[in-house]
Amino acid sequence: MAINGINDYLTTSAAAATTSTKKSGTSLDMDDFLKLMVAQLQNQDMNNTADTSEYTSQMAQFSMVQALTELNDLTKTTYSVSLVGKDVTLAENNADGSLKVVTGTVEGVNLYNGDAQIIVGGISYPMSSIMEVAQPKAK
């Protein structure tokens, strides 16, 4: 019977890993964590039960990391929106590998799929391409 428990655990763990891989490549979310925890609890050795305080600690740590990630995303979004109307200098790599410098005023922001991009001259640029931000010059 112990062998079946191990096989069930491995099957459940593999299914959970496959599910998380389909979501975002290498990250696990709270649902994946809970599935793994339930699989471990269901298949634990009755003579050597798991320490539930360790699971509670891991869940608290996971929740903290998740909250920090969400805060980071919100901060990036807020920063990108604050750039609207500001003059920026951007670095862009050409196909031949040379550096092209683009300057202009931020017209808007694209917030698609958790990634913020600024719009300058009708073209979207990643936030990582910003080299300089300045107040717009008086006209």
Asked if 117 and 128 count as a contact pair (C-beta separation under 8 A), the reply is no
Model pLDDT, residue 26: 64
Note the pLDDT tens digit of each residue in 47-72.
777 677 777 888 888 889 889 988 98
CATH of 82-134, one of 2.60.40, 3.40.50, 3.20.20, 2.30.30: 2.30.30
Mean of all residue pLDDT scores within the chain? 79
Query: Which run of H or E residues covers position 8?
Result: helix 2-24
Query: Which residues does 58 contact at the CB level (< 8 Å), separation at least 6?
Result: 33, 37
What integer is the mean pLDDT of 7-25?
46
pTM for the whole structure: 0.57
Q: Helical H runs in 25-127?
A: 30-42, 52-82
Integer angstrom CA distances of residue 16 from 29, 31, 50, 76:
11, 9, 20, 30
Note the pLDDT tens digit of each residue in 115-129.
889 999 999 999 999
Q: Angle CA(115)–CA(85)–CA(132) in degrees, nearest 5?
A: 70
Note the pLDDT tens digit of each residue in 68-81.
988 988 898 899 99
